[in-house]
Structure 1
Amino acid sequence: MSVKDLSAKKLALAKTSLVRNLPGFAPLTTAAADYDIVRRAIAHIRGNWRSQPEIDTIADAAGVTATDLHHLFRRWCGLTPKAFLQALTLNHARDLLRGKASILDAAYGVGLSGPGRLHDLFVTHEAMSPGEWKAGGEGLTLTYGFHPSPFGMALVMTTPRGLAGLALADAGKERAALKDMKSRWPRARYVEDFAATAPTARRIFDTGLWKPNQPLRVVLIGTDFEVRVWEQLLSIPMGGLDTYSGIAGKIDAPKAARAVGAAVGKNPICFVVPCHRVVGKDGDITGYHWGITRKRAMLGWEAGQAATAA
């Protein structure tokens, strides 16, 4: 069997029932399948939001019944379809930016967040030296594997020091995601090892493992400016939002909103370093390296997690 065939077999394994037998992965495998339907539902809503489509119409576009869609959203993110859509509206984003009270804010008030945490994943981080970044990752070994997640297939990349890369891809586009990630550190050595990266994948996407006494360690590999931006992203709590100009001000570079946007777009650890929580100054849910539909899905899913925790 060729290396290419072996890689394809490993990728197929991640999508089969065998994955369901891995501890902690049963709900994630279901969520990964759910995401395909959610993606179609959001795509229909984006294209027809002015007409405020009914749930039956959205369900039909997603290829399921209205009842199935209702149960799917409750299972996938803990919200009804209506509440999920409200979580994605421009007005909701504006309310969060203005700091108005919401169900998410109420969740924080009962202890969902606290002064000792960066955000709900309980992340601790370190940055590699500028020299290591300039060397293009030379001398660095990155272990990677593809795993099911609530937002499609996840490419998890780790080093002995922690999580260094997390990309998300739709079915059939996994290898393109790998190529994109490899281009960031072209001189690094890459080793595919599904079993080695599986515990990190579980730690990221299984909310039952989000514990303050077991922080997820991440390694930020970028320029000094990019690392400063990514560190600021880590301060945005689940259910919160910030703007490019807001981040620029917080890193003492108030005129660098455009450069901040570029750095946000280059964030190699999506979801964990939450670049999806950055929106336009008017609350517009703007572009996202991993797809605008996925960004909307993440924000809605997080709204459900916060509401459930409350």
Structure 2
Amino acid sequence: MEHAPYHYAVMARAIDMIDTHRGDPLSLADLADALGMSASHVQRVFTTWVGVSPKRYQQFLALDHARTMLRENFTTLAVADAVGLSGSSRLHDLFLRWEAMTPGEYARQGEGLTVRWGWCDSVFGPVLAMATERGLCGLAFAAETGRAAAMADLRGRWPLATFTEDRDAVAGWTEAALTGTGEARLHMIGTPLQIKVWEALLRIPSGQVTTYSEIARSIGLEKAVRAVGTAVGRNPVSLLIPCHRALRKSGALGGYHWGLPVKRTLLAWESAREESQKGDIRRNIA
């Protein structure tokens, strides 16, 4: 797979154009013309990154797709518990390790902690990554919020930490997160409730969704759906802790800290890749 920043940028433009297009589906020819590329090149690069053609992807991005996912790909977290966290924390070929800060570390608000940060490109727009020596502690999509807001958001989680720009220090884990290959480590900071909610989110497999009320039920706080929703929204590590997979009971997207267009795109992207992988399995069996 090509990981050149150029292709990240081109695919980000393509996905944004498809997402904002209204009316009839955007044809491959029109998409290629807008990107200044040949139709065959767009088809090849898009399919490499997303897993399906632009035409098929538009079906996943339809506004009612979330409701379809809730009807057909709903994950009951009690079942995920029975399977075990290690069996459902993979994103494609990615293996995820994580640890939470102790209550004492949380209370110190990052005092004595060095957080290194850097900006990276992705098919979902610019990404701000932050990490301690123990793993990624922040991954923010800035396409909707803007870079300044994303930076202020993540820095505000650790007001007493020392922040150092060091893209190389975060590049490896960030690349693993964005491509779904290799190993990524997380170093999380949050309240006990937030940590419980984020652990529950880790049990939702790629290509599937659950509801805020189901998350609340799975952690023994069935009547605290609103508090659980707030904790979901405070997740500092987008994509790897998949808060985008939490929907309302109605199938509506609900909120998303990094912008609803990004949430809709993430769900469509994961569904597309899951379908592509299932297609590969069926072909291998045949």
Of residues 14, 26, 35, the one that matches 2:3 is: 26
Alpha-carbon offset, residue 240 of structure 1: 0.5
Alpha-carbon offset, residue 138 of structure 1: 1.2
Which residue of 2 is the match for residue 146 of structure 1?
119
Offset from partner CA, 1:216-273 (integer Å, 9 cap, x none)? 2211100000010011110111001011111111111111111111111110000010
Q: Is the 8 A contact 1:167 1:268 kept in 2?
A: yes
Which residue of 2 is the match for residue 263 of structure 1?
231
In 2 relative to 1, CA 36–253 (structure 1 residues): closer, same or farther, beyond 3 Å? same
Read off the aligned partner of 1:79 and give its amino acid letter: V
| More deviation, 224-233/125-134 | 125-134
Alpha-carbon offset, residue 88 of structure 1: 3.0
2:201 is equivalent to residue 222 of structure 1: no
Which residue of 1 is the match for residue 90 of structure 2?
119
In structure 1, distance between residues paired with 2:171 and 2:144: 19
How many correspondences in the alignment?
Answer: 265
Alpha-carbon offset, residue 81 of structure 1: 2.9
Which residue of 2 is the match for residue 192 of structure 1?
165
In structure 2, distance between residues paired with 1:150 and 1:191: 25
In 2 relative to 1, CA 43–220 (structure 1 residues): closer, same or farther, beyond 3 Å? same
In structure 1, distance between residues paired with 2:73 and 2:134: 39
Which residue of 1 is the match for residue 284 of structure 2?
none
Alpha-carbon offset, residue 185 of structure 1: 1.1
Which residue of 1 is the match for residue 13 of structure 2?
36
Which residue of 2 is the match for residue 108 of structure 1?
none
Q: TM-score, normalised by structure 2?
A: 0.82
Read off the aligned partner of 1:309 and give its amino acid letter: Q
Read off the aligned partner of 1:295 and give its amino acid letter: K
Secondary structure of 1:263's counterpart equals helix
Q: Is the 8 A contact 1:164 1:220 kept in 2?
A: yes
Secondary structure of 1:272's counterpart equals coil
Indicate the RMSD between aligned Cα atoms, in angstroms.
3.0
Read off the aligned partner of 2:177 and give its amino acid letter: I
Which residue of 1 is the match for residue 178 of structure 2?
205
Offset from partner CA, 1:137-182 (integer Å, 9 cap, x none)? 1121111111111211111111111111101112993233111110
Which residue of 2 is the match for residue 6 of structure 1?
none
Which residue of 2 is the match for residue 305 of structure 1?
273
Structure 1 residue ranges without an equivalent (≥5): 1-23, 102-112
Offset from partner CA, 1:88-120 (integer Å, 9 cap, x none)? 34554334323469xxxxxxxxxxx99634232
In structure 2, distance between residues paired with 1:33 and 1:57: 14
Q: Is the 8 A contact 1:229 1:260 kept in 2?
A: yes
In structure 1, distance between residues paired with 2:44 and 2:2: 20
Secondary structure of 2:109's counterpart equals coil
Alpha-carbon offset, residue 304 of structure 1: 2.3
In 2 relative to 1, CA 119–36 (structure 1 residues): closer, same or farther, beyond 3 Å? same
Which residue of 2 is the match for residue 131 of structure 1?
104
Structure 1 runs, 4 residues or longer, greater than 6 Å off: none
**Percent identity (aligned):** 38
Q: TM-score, normalised by structure 1?
A: 0.76
Q: Is the 8 A contact 1:137 1:186 kept in 2?
A: yes
| More deviation, 82-91/192-201 | 82-91
In structure 1, distance between residues paired with 2:221 and 2:197: 10
Secondary structure of 1:191's counterpart equals strand
In 2 relative to 1, CA 40–201 (structure 1 residues): closer, same or farther, beyond 3 Å? same
